Chain A
């Protein structure tokens, strides 16, 4: 008989009950960190991301009998996390434009440093670079950020990203291409120097 660590995600979810949380605990343990990191990237706020991730797992647990094994469990989890994160953004700021929740990214101009400025030392540079990238990401819409994150960090294929974001393949391609272009714009001074950025 296989150990609980080897069981399929969906089997763990199916076996979970109010009386026995062991299987579900294993499922949460497997996916908590990536789900939290994903939500944080969409929301830009760790504490809110913790709440959203918690709620996503609770919702999935309560409604577990309604889900079908059509896709990977992670796809379902990330979709719920994304929807809750976007809700959180919407709830936090009702004056946010619809485009902020949708497809249109804001300009990233002005985030890149002046190419002619004196370059600081490596540690300061790395920190500033991180801040610039984060600033650039936060200028993108939540779905652009999500698509970039799922591709670059989770290594998802375009079709899986489309399923997770409930979008078409064409939309996902555009989001990833535009996101990368925005990042290239931000990183231009560094890329122009032809250096590997550490």
Chain B
């Protein structure tokens, strides 16, 4: 049995996570194996020491007076926040208000005859689903950076010598996988790429040199273009996390029409308590269609044709030498 499996069993035994039959079998083994008993004793003592450590840290964190002050402060802030959001309990609304609201909703429903009014989505559920998809599936977005893209465009144009059609693309996947690319379409010589390959490698390329690779992003040499590119991936993940953890900062703007006549549900992330602002657009199935975070506007590619293996460096930049950067 491998060492890992052995430790798994020890941990399961200590934590009471074994079935009755597994436990009986393990205890029989314990009686005959001194090394197993010794290993169990070591793990038990290490576990006990860790528990003591957590206990001492917890006890030192706050005294009774500090706790009472914190409780008072939290309750005050919570009620203030609720009043600010103007979320009043239904039970305290007057019957007249409820009747008027009901009439208003009914009237709007009859006038607009919209099929969507009865199916208005919950913004936090939309966001939670989008975050889950981003974290568990592969997704692709084409994006624009507005004025911030200009330095990159300038670099590309200077290399090519004329104005070119430029594509900017973000691929994102589970485990932090990211690959961001800005390129003159079809011209590999001017591709700028950066990403995280899921194997503890952050990478960025300079079109004129090798791919630089490092276990931590901060270890890559100063590379504003790569930092700007990776900022797109980091911002999208951070905005979705913020939106998921801060439902009070979400607002369903409503059904909106885009410039091509298509319709989508728009959710806004913002407000005084939000650390980030952004907008997300979803279709009726809850698929994330577009996002807008700061200067970045991203549009999802429907049914992208690539997989997890496409995040590997040898697939992204085949044949290009790799330079490992020492921390």
Q: Name A's B-contacting residues (CB within 8 A).
A: 16-19, 21, 24-25, 28-29, 32-34, 36-37, 40-41, 46, 49-50, 53-54, 57-59, 61-63, 66, 80, 83-84, 86-87, 90-91, 94-99, 101-104, 129-130, 133-134, 148-149, 151-153, 157-158, 173, 176-177, 180-181, 183-184, 187, 190-191, 196-197
Contact = CB atoms under 8 A, between A and B. Distances in A.
Interface residues of B, number: 66
B216 A95 contact: yes
A148 B242 CA distance: 25
A105 B77 CA distance: 36
Contacts, number: 181
B275 to A, nearest CB: 7
B245 A62 contact: no
Nearest to A176: B11
B54 A41 contact: yes
Contact of B238 (A40, A53, A58, A91): A91
A177 B11 contact: yes
B58 A173 contact: no
B17 interface: yes
Given A28-B74, A32-B71, A41-B57, A157 B17 contact: yes
B196 A98 contact: yes
Interface string B230-241: 010010001001
Interface stretch (B44-52, B291-299, B313-321): B44-52
B45 A97 contact: no
Given A98-B176, A99-B200, A180-B7, A57 B74 contact: yes
B81 A58 contact: yes
Main secondary structure of the interface of A (DSSP, over half): helix
A63 to B, nearest CB: 5
B70 to A, nearest CB: 6
Interface in B194-232: 196, 200, 202, 215-218, 231
Given A83-B245, A191-B42, A196-B45, A25 B7 contact: no
Contacts of B82: 17-18, 61-62
A62 B73 contact: no
23 contacts: A25-B75, A28-B70, A28-B75, A32-B67, A32-B70, A34-B58, A36-B61, A36-B70, A61-B82, A63-B124, A63-B247, A83-B241, A95-B216, A97-B176, A97-B196, A98-B178, A102-B176, A152-B47, A152-B54, A153-B55, A173-B11, A180-B50, A183-B47
Contact of A25 (B45, B71, B231, B275): B71
B1 interface: no
A180 to B, nearest CB: 6
B179 interface: no
B51 A152 contact: yes
B120 to A, nearest CB: 14
Contact of A84 (B124, B238, B245, B247): B245
B54 A149 contact: yes
B248 interface: yes
Contact of A184 (B4, B42, B78, B87): B42
- Sort A-B residue pairs by CB-CB distance and give the 7 closest, nearest first: A98-B176, A37-B58, A153-B54, A61-B78, A95-B218, A21-B75, A62-B248
A180 B11 contact: yes
Contacts of B92: 19
Given A21-B79, A57-B78, A66-B124, A96 B67 contact: no
A59 to B, nearest CB: 6
B217 A29 contact: no
A149 B55 CA distance: 10
A130 B87 CA distance: 47
B111 interface: no
Given A37-B58, A130-B56, A184-B43, A97 B248 contact: no
A29 B78 contact: no
Given A54-B70, A54-B77, A83-B244, A183 B49 contact: yes
A103 B200 CA distance: 11
Nearest to B196: A98
A148 B50 contact: yes
A150 to B, nearest CB: 10
A86 B241 contact: yes
Contacts of B57: 37, 40-41, 134
A18 to B, nearest CB: 4
